[in-house]
Amino acid sequence: MNDDSEFTHPLLLFCKGGNETAAKFEQKLSSFEPGSDAWKEFLKTHCDSQNHVVQTMSFQEIHKSGDPQWLDFLFAHLQRATVYTDWLSIICAIGELGGFRSREDYAPYLESEDEYVRAMALFITRYLPREEALAILIDKLNHDPSLGVRQSAAKRLMELGSNAGLPLLLEVFHEQDQSFFSKSRCAADLAVLRHPEGLQFLQQQIATHHSLSRQDRTYILFAVCDVFVREGLELPPCERPADLPLELIFQRATDWLEAQLAVIAKK
């Protein structure tokens, strides 16, 4: 494993360009001719990095290359990946390079005895034809023995515009012993599906956000931004975290939530 002593910063920061590790990595990568043997070797080496920022950026550069010759290398990494971020990075790289061509390419992961692997494998459906993706997700929603996998299937169905997972999302939303973070994220899913309970929860939390703890206010912000991204709504520009226009974001979210509730009320 590469210990990447020159890439010292452990996490990606909120604002683009604010991360020293990312900047160092990009500077070093730019010293090689794209597609050259040295460029490829640099990326291969850092796909085994102990620094997940560097590792993730390496997989991102591979999928941006558009070169399907990387697929054997990526599938080999996928078979031994054990970390959530590794799985997502590798799946995205394989998917972007068109590696999931047939069921044989991904069935072993969907049918794994490890529920973690099955849950991560649901991200593969992002790179499949819609009807094929829906069939896989509905099957997992109805038959997988793991509640976590079924919840992941419900969320992915929501992302595809299907409300097939709505009953399970509502069940999770109403659970008594869940964290505020989980409830706010579930509310965001329900809001995307235009369910009034999700819309109303976010609306109420925004209206009283000054009374929330800093942590819970951050969770609501995450949930709101998630809705913005899924709905294709524009977030205000921000150069650094200290300048985050929280009130403006919440106001735009409130306007959107009120508009959706008004539409429901007219039905």
Residues 6+ apart with CB under 8 A from 166: 154, 158, 190, 193, 195
| pLDDT reported for residue 240 | 67
162-206 per-position pLDDT tens digit: 999 999 999 999 999 889 999 999 999 999 999 999 999 999 999
What is the pTM assigned to this prediction?
Answer: 0.80
232-251 per-position pLDDT tens digit: 888 888 776 667 788 999 99
40-86 per-position pLDDT tens digit: 999 999 998 888 888 889 999 999 999 999 999 999 998 887 776 67
Mean pLDDT, the chain, whole residue set = 88
Quickly count: other Cβ atoms within 10 Å of residue 117's Cβ.
18
Asked if pLDDT for residue 16 goes beyond 80, the answer is: no
Asked if pLDDT for residue 12 goes beyond 80, the answer is: no
**Cα–Cα distance for residue pair 42/238, rounded to 1 Å:** 32
| pLDDT reported for residue 54 | 86
Q: What is the mean pLDDT of residues 10-30?
A: 64
